[in-house]
Amino acid sequence: MSGHDQIEDLPAQDLTHTVLEAAPHAIMLVDGLGALRAINPVAARMFGVEPQRLGAARLSELLPMFEARNGAIAWTQSHAGGASSADGGRALPSSAAGAGLVSLDQRHRVTGVTAEGREFPLIAVIGKAGEGAERLFSVFVVDLSDRAALDREVETLRDELIHAGRVGAMAEMTSTIAHEIAQPLTAAKNYLFAARIAARRDPAMDPRALADLMAKADAEIDRASGIITNLRQFMRKGGAVRGAHPLNDVVHEAALLALTGSARHSIEAGFQLDPAIPQVTIDKVQIQQVIVNLVRNAVDALISASSARRIDVATHRDGGMALIEVRDNGPGIAPETLSRLFQPFTTTKDQGMGLGLSISRRIVEAHGGDISADNRAEGGAVFRVRLPLENCEA
């Protein structure tokens, strides 16, 4: 007797029981009235259904988005407009004749409810398992709880990596930043010292001259405070927060931060920012991280250059995209490095880790854009960041 003949000789009830017991995924059988007729151990554990409740349990209790209606499985009235298929499309048929019915043999992303009332995300596939008086429906369920937790963990790690990139960028600038902050604080101290000496030598000193010295000291303190404030905003930790921001302001602020101390190396900077660029929906800190990385790379490339050193930062429209360019007149990028420039651990710096450009690419692509680099015909390199304008405000 063949294996096929043995299966045919098994009673249908025994065959169903065998399949349910052996299945690695959650499976339930419901009748045309929505009553639970059979459930395998995986589904019983998933939903917390006790064997003695099998006859009383209903599909709508475990999957509230579904209900039995006229011998078919339909969407409940409260969920009929918002259910979606697992691939992101509408799960409900558009024809009037089938309005409200659940599409069979398709994956649907819905919410399950355990016997204790705990909700969890899942994918459900409903198929027809019987006809006529004994109309049955099979319900296959895949729990997405672990996958959702994994997605959250991956997102957290991604945010940690992006933040680490900001920390690394600022770590490389530590001595420069310290010098830039020390300068205005020293100047403020000198102004205050001069005011104190002048007031001591001449009690009848013109108040306007004293006020002028105090105002200069105050301006220097504000300058140092501004550097620290920009650093704190740039270094803040947190998840992605998107909002509408004027792109030119975002680029200008980030470039100025990255140019901190560049004047000591005789590096000139220029800005050509298109005033027609609208506000764009972005994570401001993340996009500024990209600009800081690009400008700092240009500064590093120019430090060793002997000719006139210049960095230009520009913005303009490129079709449906906003284009940001960072150009320098340095030595350019070696051909063997150019092809793998945005890969992790690719660096031309002696102490660099090679993560800045890789992180920048991740940020830009997460915003729906792209980033590229080329050598300029007139010498030097140019980095281009393109961001979509589809979510911009005019």
Per-residue pLDDT tens for 207-264? 888 888 888 888 888 877 776 776 676 666 555 678 889 999 999 988 888 887 787 7
Give the helix/strand (H/E) hosting 45: helix 41-47
Question: Region 58-80: what's the mean pLDDT?
Answer: 84
Q: Report how far residue 93's alpha carbon sits from residue 104's, in angstroms, rounded to the nearest whole number.
A: 11
Task: State the pTM of this model.
Answer: 0.50
Q: How confident is the model at residue 10 (pLDDT cuts 50, 70, 90)?
A: very low
**Residue 15, pLDDT score:** 47
Inter-helix orientation angle 356-366/145-172, to 10° = 130
Q: How far apart are CA 313 and CA 254, in angstroms?
A: 11
What is the distance between the alpha carbons of residues 163 and 61, in angstroms, rounded to a whole number?
44
What confidence tens digit (pLDDT) does each residue in 268-283 have?
999 999 998 888 988 8
